[in-house]
Chain A
Amino acid sequence: MITIINYNAGNIKSIQNMLKRIGAKSCISADAKEIEQAEKLILPGVGHFDYGMKNLQESNLIEVLNKKVLDDKIPLLGICLGAQLLGNRSEEGVLSGLGWIDMEVVKFDKAKMPENLKIPHMSWNEIKIKKQSKLLEGLNDESRFYFVHSYHLKCKNEDDVLATTNYGYEFTSAVEKENIFGVQFHPEKSHKYGMRLLENFNRFKV
């Protein structure tokens, strides 16, 4: 059973639809007691970094999430803003992130990009896989995913980088550290590629 964390900052329904399609059991919860019992978590998210962190704080979920992810080591997948929140901080806001993965979230650097590329990066794009991972089993460098974001991940530690994507320049589009996964793109809106990724996550055991 996958528990989707409902902190009022995400496209929860789309994720639930896709999980249902692949036959994965899921539930939605904003309740610390329920999340305490979770076997696997998805942290969705769309919107402003501080808004996401503030909602997690106000829902009193940070303590239980720290316990489940860092102590119990249950698998967690952050999607889009949910992946960004795994880091230390973001140029978008002032609040600290969850700090589970040693990374910053930075704005796309226009100076490094051709003029015809707009921000946000709103398009389908390919990933370049940087390390062997159960999350990306069956996927390859031709797999396409849907992106919509103005800020991107920047890891301190190369080992945490799971995949990169090119938009004007190469940026980190997926991270993995032990039981913690984060993807900048939207697997729930990425056809068979996203289906495969979520199937892999559903099957994943630490």
Chain B
Amino acid sequence: MRRIRIIPVLTLQNEKLVKTIRFKNPTYIGDPINAVKIFNEKEVDEIVILDITASKEKREPNYVKIEEIASEAFMPFAYGGGITNIYQIEKLFKLGIEKVVLNSILETNMSLVKEAAKIFGSQSVVASVDIKKNIFGKEQAYKISGTTKINLPLIEYIQQLENAGVGELFINSIDRDGTYQGYDLALIKQIYSLVNLPIVACGGAASVDSFLPAIQNGASAIAAGSMFVYTGSTRGILINYPKQEELVLKVYLQL
């Protein structure tokens, strides 16, 4: 039986957990340490924690908080937000994280990927690409929490990331973020046809039923935010994760 990684994505703003809709209106969810402790109990496959205001505020990663979170994370832990150089990356790995997630720095300094992959291995370097459609339906990559357009055609940008040596592509649909509309399957399919890299699909998951189509269209791993921090469409806060039996039945055995 082939297992796919199912990854909760937690977004941080000033050390607090928040959840956005289409990258806007961050709503307070709770304390990240508490959430990670619950995710330990639920035996989640991996967690991604993104500080969504670090790059906006030109801040370095909050090492103290990250170390605190890492000390409670008994699953693989990927961190992103405010990373601009190799020294920061080295420091982060020493704190006990497994992967760095790069985004806002990539357009201007793609060589950071090469440098990091050479020292720490490409498996520990994730490129996150936030994607939004313009009014003509054309897909465009964004940086700095979706506020700034990347001045390269999406396809070219993604190919550059692959050539630079990233280990994974974290594809986040801004349009689907927090909407429960399901993953953007056409987008996943398009990127899958372009690159040989594992794709982590994010944005739009409503329930376990959203996972299989994303995998069938090329995702190697599944990420989601809202469905793991809210219960139901009324968005009552509840840190949750599907049971193994449900994942086996509805996802793994269907592959």
A124 pairs with B45, CB closer than 8 A: yes
Q: Is B242 an interface residue, CB under 8 A from the partner?
A: no
The stretch from A56-64, A70-78, A115-123 touching chain B is A115-123
B75 pairs with A118, CB closer than 8 A: no
A37 CB, min distance to chain B CBs, angstroms: 25
Is chain B's binding surface mostly helix, strand, loop or mixed? loop
Known: A14-B98, A122-B198, A191-B43. A146 touches B3 (CB 8 A): no
Q: Which residue of A lies closest to B39 (CB)?
A: A191
* Contacting residues, chain B, for A190 (C-beta < 8 A): 74-75
Per-residue A-contact encoding for B27-51, CB less than 8 Å = 1, 0 else: 0000000000000100101100000
B96 pairs with A13, CB closer than 8 A: yes
Q: Is B13 an interface residue, CB under 8 A from the partner?
A: no
Give A186 to B5 CA distance when docked, in angstroms. 15
A123 pairs with B5, CB closer than 8 A: yes
Give A11 to B221 CA distance when docked, in angstroms. 23
* Contacting residues, chain B, for A123 (C-beta < 8 A): 3-5, 45, 221
A8 CB, min distance to chain B CBs, angstroms: 10
- Interface positions of B from 52 to 94, Cβ below 8 Å from A: 70-71, 74-76, 93-94
- Interface positions of A from 1 to 42, Cβ below 8 Å from B: 11, 13-14, 16-18, 20-21
B123 pairs with A146, CB closer than 8 A: no
Known: A14-B98, A191-B40, A191-B74. A124 touches B124 (CB 8 A): no
Is chain A's binding surface mostly helix, strand, loop or mixed? mixed
* Contacting residues, chain A, for B124 (C-beta < 8 A): 46
Known: A47-B121, A120-B123, A123-B5. A17 touches B96 (CB 8 A): yes
Known: A117-B2, A120-B123. A13 touches B75 (CB 8 A): no
Residue among A13, A48, A125, A148 making CB contact with B95, cutoff 8 Å: A13
Per-residue B-contact encoding for A121-144, CB less than 8 Å = 1, 0 else: 011111000000000000000001
**Tally of A interface residues using CB under 8 Å:** 31
A191 pairs with B98, CB closer than 8 A: no
* Contacting residues, chain B, for A182 (C-beta < 8 A): none
A66 CB, min distance to chain B CBs, angstroms: 27
A124 pairs with B3, CB closer than 8 A: yes
Q: Is B220 an interface residue, CB under 8 A from the partner?
A: yes
Residues of chain B at the chain A interface (Cβ within 8 Å): 1-5, 40, 43, 45-46, 70-71, 74-76, 93-96, 98, 120-121, 123-124, 167-168, 198, 220-221
9 other A-B residue contacts (CB within 8 Å) besides A17-B70, A189-B75, A191-B43:
A13-B94, A46-B120, A47-B121, A120-B167, A122-B168, A124-B5, A186-B76, A190-B75, A191-B74
A sample of 15 cross-chain residue pairs with beta-carbon separation below 8 angstroms, ordered by A number, consists of A11-B96, A11-B98, A14-B70, A17-B74, A46-B120, A47-B120, A122-B123, A122-B198, A146-B46, A146-B75, A148-B98, A189-B74, A190-B75, A191-B74, A195-B74
